[in-house]
């Protein structure tokens, strides 16, 4: 395991969260995340949280590389270490306000500055056009499976779904309660390992929208480009939960983009919806108030108490992504990490296997199996001993899955690859 140990020490990746009981024990960190990267130029103006500067004495929180694991969970998932440390430093007394973000009124000036800055930074990252609204909601992407047809369709309207995995299938089934969806392509018969040629799709002429899941978390299938609805009045709708903010996206191609935050941009509890503003206001009469985009847009995501701390964490992540140089730079890192892992799988002479067609393999979720399935439980157990956790595949698929989201450091993938090679050397007899 010498190679693995060497890789594991490439980058320290952990910290010790120490309990504190007074303001003097809160670790001091700068009010903005400090990174060596330069933010990309953008037409959007960034805003600053309106609060006093955090004033605390020298840090008493210690950090150690031995306490953190490499977390390959599909979601909730790994968060950037410097974001966690920033949140730790502000947990007790947010920037001199005298209270934690978890204690703030969602209508107070402190939290208003937090949510406004989060939206501003997300607009910068994705270059979101001005004629699109950004909503911070709750309920996960699964709730949007109902919200989308309820807001965009009448009961007799036709809509099209491309089903490339479990989540696309669930979205289709939920839509059938509120409109007339049609699956124009499904990869289920081949166990969801591919994406169709767009030219071969037979779209419904009067479909109100075409729905895709941009990245299937369970099966590891990702759209590298996006289909265009053949009906000029139709919309492209995308569930981007597991590759949201992992690469640049032309938002103007979509009517609606929605995503659960717990993969790439925050903790569980926040759902982000980006919707072209002229599509708001046509909800079906039976639409519950909490699923009506118009209600949330008019109230700037504050119709009721939002997931305040989750939105705050998303804001810190957005700030961090901007500091890295924006999503083009983030994508380069993600491509490099994925390439290392896929090369190891493909170069193992069949010991490890990834079933997904190479051209549509996900940069975020890498499913793989062993030629000897009886070794998979041992692989997962030994990996956990080496502080690589949550590698077990989804219960519906089996095998292993490594989720390597934005926050997974290169060292984590290098450590996994070294372990895989060592495991093969010991078991490929």
User: Longest C-alpha distance within the chain, in Å?
Assistant: 65
- Please give the Cα distance from 254 to 274 (Å, whole number): 9
- Per-residue b/e over 397-410, b at no fewer than 16 CB within 10 Å? bebbbbbbbbbbbe
Reduce the DSSP state of residue 115 to 3 states and report it: helix
* Contact indicator for 152, 207 with CB cutoff of 8 Å: no
3-state helix, strand, coil in the chain (%, to 5): 35, 15, 50
- Please give the Cα distance from 260 to 142 (Å, whole number): 9
Instruction: Calculate the dihedral angle through the C-alpha atoms of 414, 419, 425, 426, rounding to the nearest 10 degrees.
Output: 170
- Please give the Cα distance from 307 to 290 (Å, whole number): 14
Q: Burial of 162 by CB count in 10 Å (0-12 exposed, 13-18 middle, 19+ buried)?
A: buried
Distances (CA, A) of 165 to 218, 376, 396: 7, 23, 11
Q: Which residues are annotated as catalytic?
A: 167, 239, 263
Q: What are phi and psi of 361, to 5 degrees?
A: -65, 135
* Contact indicator for 338, 366 with CB cutoff of 8 Å: yes
- Please give the Cα distance from 102 to 114 (Å, whole number): 12
- Please give the Cα distance from 256 to 98 (Å, whole number): 39
- Please give the Cα distance from 66 to 325 (Å, whole number): 29
Cα radius of gyration rounded to whole Å, the chain: 22
């Amino acid at each position: 395991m010498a190679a693995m140990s060497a890789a594991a020490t490439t980058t320290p990746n952990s910290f010790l969260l120490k309990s504190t009981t007074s303001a003097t024990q809160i670790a001091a960190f700068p009010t903005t995340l400090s990174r060596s990267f330069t933010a990309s130029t953008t037409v959007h103006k960034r805003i600053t949280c309106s609060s006093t500067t955090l004033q605390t004495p020298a840090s008493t929180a210690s950090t150690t590389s031995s306490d953190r694991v490499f977390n390959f969970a599909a979601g909730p998932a790994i968060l950037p270490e410097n974001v966690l440390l920033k949140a730790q430093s502000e947990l007790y007394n947010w920037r001199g306000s005298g209270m934690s973000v978890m204690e703030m009124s969602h209508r107070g000036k402190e939290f208003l500055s937090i949510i406004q800055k989060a939206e501003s930074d997300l607009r910068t990252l994705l270059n979101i056009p001005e004629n699109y609204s950004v909503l911070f909601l709750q309920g996960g992407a699964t709730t949007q499976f109902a919200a989308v047809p309820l807001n965009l369709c009448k009961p007799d309207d036709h809509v099209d779904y491309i089903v490339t995995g479990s989540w696309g299938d669930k979205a289709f089934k939920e839509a059938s309660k509120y409109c007339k969806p049609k699956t124009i392509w499904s990869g289920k018969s081949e166990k969801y390992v591919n994406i169709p040629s767009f030219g071969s799709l037979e779209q419904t002429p009067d479909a109100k929208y075409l729905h895709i899941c941009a990245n299937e978390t369970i099966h590891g299938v990702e759209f590298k480009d996006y289909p265009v609805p053949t009906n000029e009045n139709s919309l492209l709708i995308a569930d981007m939960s597991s590759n949201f903010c992992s690469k640049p996206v032309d938002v103007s191609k979509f009517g609606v983009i929605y995503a659960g935050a717990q993969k790439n941009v925050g903790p569980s509890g926040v759902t982000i919806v980006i919707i072209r503003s002229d599509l708001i206001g046509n909800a079906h009469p039976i639409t519950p108030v909490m699923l009506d985009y118009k209600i949330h847009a008019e109230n700037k995501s504050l119709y009721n108490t939002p997931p305040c701390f989750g939105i705050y964490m998303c804001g810190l992540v957005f700030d961090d992504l901007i500091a890295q140089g924006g999503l083009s730079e983030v994508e380069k890192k993600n491509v490099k990490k994925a390439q290392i892992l896929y090369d190891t799988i493909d170069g193992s002479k069949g010991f490890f296997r990834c079933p997904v067609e190479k051209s549509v393999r996900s940069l975020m979720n890498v499913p793989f199996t062993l030629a000897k399935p009886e070794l998979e439980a041992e692989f997962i157990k030994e990996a956990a001993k080496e502080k690589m956790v949550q590698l077990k595949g989804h219960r519906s698929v089996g095998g292993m899955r490594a989720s390597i989201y934005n926050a997974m450091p290169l060292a984590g993938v290098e450590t996994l690859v070294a372990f895989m090679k060592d495991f093969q050397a010991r078991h490929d007899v």
